[in-house]
Amino acid sequence: MMDGLRGLVVRRATAVLPVLLGVSVLSFAMLRVIPGDAAVILGGPQATEAELVGIRREYGLDQPLLVQYLRYAGRVARGDLGVSIRTRDPVRQLLVDGLGVTLTLATLSLALAVTLGIPAGVVAARRPNSVIDVLTMAGALLGVSMPVFWYGLVLLFVFAGALRWLPAGGVGSVKHLVLPVVVLGTAGMGVIARLTRTAMLEVMHQDFVRTARAKGLAERQVVLRHALWNALNPVLTVVGLQFGFLLGGSVLTETVFALPGIGRIMVNAVFSRDYPVVQGGILLVGTMFVLINFLTDLAYVLVNPRLREA
């Protein structure tokens, strides 16, 4: 078993470097293909050419692309992500701070989604097409489909505006996190509940479940020990993907709740063509994504011993 695991770790780890190199080239190139550059946006509509020349020279944007890339790659290799062209913030610090906020948000909302979503899916799958199934799945559908912007503002309006139980956005305490976690958690819960239900229904009809029942095991044991354990594979995949998605995709929630997360930092940086921040951010999120995929793969192997031989 240890050999299998070690082999997997080594194979995966060697695949990571080319992926990250590709990510760095792509993030560098993509931004330079789209219109506008950092100087144009910093200068705004009223800037004269002379004003832009100064900015371009200062940040080396007047150099050939290859030179720019090599300089950038050289700095990154030394662990230096540079400073934001827009605000002169050191990029690494900026991203680490943002990632801290987003990671907290993602972890808590995923925890909420899993603790509510998996039981909901199991309950619904136990009695397909019953009232409880229909209600649970309708709730899950609602959770998935509610626009984050609207939902977030409604929660803010009720709990911050009208009741004044919670702060109206920003960071600083646990209370600040409640509403954003609920918003993100609701959507994740919907996805996980629906997927758990489907996976459970599939598994429940398989022979080993029938065997377990025939052995005379209690229904509770059949469902939790045999069926759910086997249904978890696709659910785990989605949990991993959801986590990745939450890392980069919580920008709307971060905007509504004025959270200084990495999603908002990245979107602002893309719109202002703040190259060092976007490149550093993509590299960081790319690395996290690769790591999460890697951990998900490991989790598969732990859940499903048959994969260890592969």
Partner 1 sequence: VTRARIHLVVTALVAALGLVGASGALGEAERRGGTLVYASTADIISLDPPNVSDTISGAVVQMVYEGLVGFTSEMAVVPRLAESWTVSSDGLQWTFKLRRGVRFHDGTPMNAQAVKYTFDRILGVSGESVLRANLYLPYIKSVEAPDEQTVRFVLQFPDAFFLNRLAGNQACVVSPAAHRRYGKDLSRNPVGTGPFRFVHWMANREVVVERFDGYWGRKANLDRVVVRPVPEAGARVIALESGDVQLASRIPPEQVGRLERNATLKLSSQSTLRTLFVGMHAQKPPWSDRRVRLALSYAIDKEAIARSLYQGLAEVIPGPVPRGASGYAPIPGLAYDPDRAKRLLAEAGYPHGFEATLVTVKGRYLKDFELAQVIQQQLGEVGVQLKLDTVEWARYLDLLRMAPDKSPLQMWLDAWSTATAEAAGVIWPRFACSEFRPKGANTNGYCNPELDRIVHEAERTVNVPARDRLLRRAQEVLVQDAPSIFLIGTREVVGMSARLHDPIQMQNETLTVNERTWLDP
Q: Which residues pair with 83 in a beta bridge?
A: 90
Nearest to 253 by CA among 167, 183, 192: 183
Q: Does 170 bind partner 1 (CB under 8 A)?
A: yes
Count of C-beta atoms within a 10 Å radius of residue 251: 19
Q: Does 202 bind partner 1 (CB under 8 A)?
A: no
Q: Are 228 and 237 in contact (CB under 8 A)?
A: no
CB of 72 to partner 1, least distance (A): 19
- Pick between residue 78 and residue 88 the one whose CB is nearest to partner 1: 88
Site residues (CB under 8 A) for partner 1, limited to 97-136: 97-98
For residues 156 and 150, what is the distance between their CA atoms, to the nearest angstrom?
Answer: 10
Q: Does 157 bind partner 1 (CB under 8 A)?
A: yes
CB of 90 to partner 1, least distance (A): 10
For residues 204 and 183, what is the distance between their CA atoms, to the nearest angstrom?
Answer: 32
- From 7-15, 20-28, 82-90, 240-248, span contacting partner 1 (CB under 8 A): 82-90
Q: Which residues of 269-308 are buried (b: 16+ CB within 10 A; e: fewer)?
A: bbebbbbbbbbbbbbbbbebbbebbbebbebbbeeeeeeb
Q: Does 49 bind partner 1 (CB under 8 A)?
A: yes
Q: Does 258 bind partner 1 (CB under 8 A)?
A: yes
Instruction: Using CB under 8 A, pick the residue from 78, 88, 205, 306 that binds partner 1.
Output: 88
Size of the site for partner 1 (CB under 8 A): 48
CA–centroid distance for 89 within its chain = 24
Instruction: Using CB under 8 A, pick the residue from 87, 107, 115, 206 that binds partner 1.
Output: 87
13, 72, 95, 98 from 261: Cα distances, Å:
28, 24, 9, 4
- From 91-99, 140-148, 192-200, 231-239, span contacting partner 1 (CB under 8 A): 91-99
For residues 27 and 278, what is the distance between their CA atoms, to the nearest angstrom?
Answer: 8
Q: Does 60 bind partner 1 (CB under 8 A)?
A: no
Per-residue mark of binding to partner 1, 227-256 (x: CB under 8 A)? ----------------------------xx
CB of 33 to partner 1, least distance (A): 12
Q: Are 177 and 104 in contact (CB under 8 A)?
A: yes
Q: Does 147 bind partner 1 (CB under 8 A)?
A: no
Instruction: Summarize as ranges the residues that interact with partner 1 (CB under 8 A).
Output: 34-36, 40-51, 54-55, 57-58, 86-89, 94, 97-98, 149, 153, 156-157, 160-161, 164, 167-171, 255-258, 260, 264-265, 268, 271, 273
